[in-house]
Amino acid sequence: SQTIHQWPATLVQPVGSPLSLECTVEGTSNPNLYWYRQAAGRGLQLLFYSVGIGQISSEVPQNLSASRPQDRQFILSSKKLLLSDSGFYLCAWNPQSDSPLHFGNGTRLTVT
């Protein structure tokens, strides 16, 4: 069966520090991969999605970036965190574009 792993679960980082959040999917190949950010009362904001290795689409211009170095690995990064980057980050995948999304358990990021 397919599983999605996302880590770390929680992270506290100072302003200006770098960020790396990792997401991996097991039990499938060539999944679509997504990064969402969730802020309280604001729903889910799509940050990046990828339909294949090295193919990244950005939905929101900001100081975050994403990479897909391997088929089932999706990484969210920042060179210098801002206070406004605090939030709950969710990775998700689906086997094809019209399928429901499967979510990881999220990373709670607090920038201090």
Residues forming the site for other proteins (CB under 8 A): 6, 34, 41-44, 46, 49, 90, 92, 97-98, 100-106, 108
Cβ closest to other proteins, residue 53 vs residue 101: 101
Which candidate, 11, 17, 37, places its Cα nearest to that of 79?
17
Q: Least distance in Å: CB of 8 to other proteins? A: 13
Q: Least distance in Å: CB of 107 to other proteins? A: 10
Cβ closest to other proteins, residue 63 vs residue 99: 99
Cβ closest to other proteins, residue 44 vs residue 53: 44
Q: Least distance in Å: CB of 110 to other proteins? A: 13
Cβ closest to other proteins, residue 15 vs residue 105: 105
| Cα–Cα distance, 94 to 75 (Å, whole number) | 16
| Cα–Cα distance, 49 to 11 (Å, whole number) | 22
Checking DSSP bridges between strand 19-26 and strand 3-7, what pairing results, if any? antiparallel
